[in-house]
Structure 1
Amino acid sequence: MMPDKFKNKYTINSARLQNYDYSQNGIYFVTICTREKEYFFGEIKNGEMNLNEIGKIAQQFWQEIPAHFPFVKSDEFVVMPNHVHGIIEICRDIDDTNNNCAKKQTFVKTQTPVETPRRGVSTIVGVSTGVGVFTNDAKTQNENQRGGYNPNWKPNSLGSIINQFKSVCTKKIRKSNCWYFQWQSRFYDHIIRNDESLNKIREYIIKNPGRWERDKNNVENLWM
């Protein structure tokens, strides 16, 4: 769980940042949970995450995101028993001399859920369909049977990247005899504005397994 000082900073009960282009250069802290926060990916032992085969699939596909989206850089991430935390940088202006983003921006912070419907989504990583934008009362996949392609989705946006990750993971995991696996239809993002925030979130991700008993996605200690 994030320290108390992070609670109000990263948890904002508001609609998604309007008119913000989630396909532009930016660094994002993303949290993706399994449906009903069921423990699919393994278990915590002595403060360390022990991935099972399903967890290894989620880890593999997260690591492969930059290979399919060349404008994306992956930073710290962790696969937990029922969720994934990760930092993604969308960087369309690469400085080849140091492999860093040539242009930096100042961002407004927000953390909101985004619907990623089960139908109408390409299962091929790198073929982006975009994502629908919803407020915090968005339904889960089973509750929202009307899910599908949304003409307002923007290709190559943060939502489309996460949508593809979830889609290929689900397909692979279900083929591994876990046919009932599902993600929560929403995911949460926080726009990282500066190096101080970036470093704090990196530290949070690295220490997340050791703080499992206090983690916000632990069903026994859910504060969000």
Structure 2
Amino acid sequence: MDETKFQGNYRIEPARLSEYDYGSNGAYFITICTKNKNYYFGDIGIVDDEPVIQPTTIGQRAIDGWRSIPEFSPFIQLDAFQLMPNHLHGILFINKADYTDWKPNTFGPQKENLASTLRGFKSGVTAYATTNQIPLGWQTRYYDRVIRNDNELNRIRQYIVNNPVQWAQDSENKEGLYM
């Protein structure tokens, strides 16, 4: 049987670690991109000699939605976060008291894990965009990395904080400059 097909159609290989429990306690580095890497969220501008995001209405809704994740997923603790014109980076901690029931990643309904949390975030921002007739599209997937130690956590935090500074050289920056 061809492993790259499902019901006779091509499929994309899963990006998740097959034996990892994405509902278990841990730290996760997340990147979510817009569809076709369109600039929906705003521009990077200079404020007080520092590059910062100047969010659009939907960009501000994405920021507010990210900050509200713990209201809907109380087991989530937020850490570093940065919105960019066409993507966002964030660190999430899953912290469930007394969690001992390891459940490897499986295909099917998801709840109280990383996938369900990010699905809720994306659908909340999408619902706002639809209601307010604001253009928005997400890539269907997201990138995640299980953060394995404090050194890696600190390196990723620094990367997130420095992302606006690096924007002028970023290959995703179509203009090659700050706005």
Assess same fold via TM > 0.5: yes
Q: Confirm or deny that 1:51 pairs with 2:55.
A: yes
Q: Confirm or deny that 1:30 pairs with 2:30.
A: yes
User: How far apart, CA to CA, are the structure 1 residues paired with 2:138 and 2:15?
Assistant: 21
User: How far apart, CA to CA, are the structure 1 residues paired with 2:175 and 2:94?
Assistant: 34
Identity %: 41
Partner SS for 1:49: strand
Q: Confirm or deny that 1:92 pairs with 2:96.
A: yes
User: How far apart, CA to CA, are the structure 2 residues paired with 1:182 and 1:14?
Assistant: 21
Shift of 1:14: 8.1
What TM-score do the two structures reach when normalised by structure 2? Answer: 0.79
Shift of 1:213: 2.5
RMSD, aligned α-carbons:
2.5
Larger Rg: 2
Q: After TM superposition, what 4+ stretches of structure 1 lie above 6 angstroms from structure 2?
A: none
User: How far apart, CA to CA, are the structure 1 residues paired with 2:110 and 2:174?
Assistant: 33
User: How far apart, CA to CA, are the structure 1 residues paired with 2:26 and 2:74?
Assistant: 14
Shift of 1:15: 4.4
The change in CA–CA distance for 1:166 and 1:76 in structure 2 (over 3 A counts) is: same
Q: Confirm or deny that 1:162 pairs with 2:118.
A: yes
Match in the other structure for 1:172? 128
Show CA shifts across 1:66-92 (max 9, x none).
Answer: 111111100010111011100000000
Q: Confirm or deny that 1:205 pairs with 2:153.
A: no
Partner SS for 1:183: coil
The change in CA–CA distance for 1:176 and 1:16 in structure 2 (over 3 A counts) is: same
User: How far apart, CA to CA, are the structure 2 residues paired with 1:194 and 1:31?
Assistant: 19
What TM-score do the two structures reach when normalised by structure 1? Answer: 0.64
Q: Can you give the 5+ residue segments of structure 2 that lack an aligned partner in the other structure?
A: 1-12
User: How far apart, CA to CA, are the structure 1 residues paired with 2:139 and 2:148?
Assistant: 26
Q: Confirm or deny that 1:16 pairs with 2:16.
A: yes
Paired residue type of 2:90: G
Instruction: Count residues with an aligned counterpart.
Output: 156
Shift of 1:207: 0.9
Partner SS for 2:63: helix
Paired residue type of 2:150: D
User: How far apart, CA to CA, are the structure 2 residues paired with 1:220 and 1:169?
Assistant: 26
Q: Is the CA contact 1:29–1:192 (under 8 Å) kept in the aligned structure 2?
A: yes
Partner SS for 2:157: helix
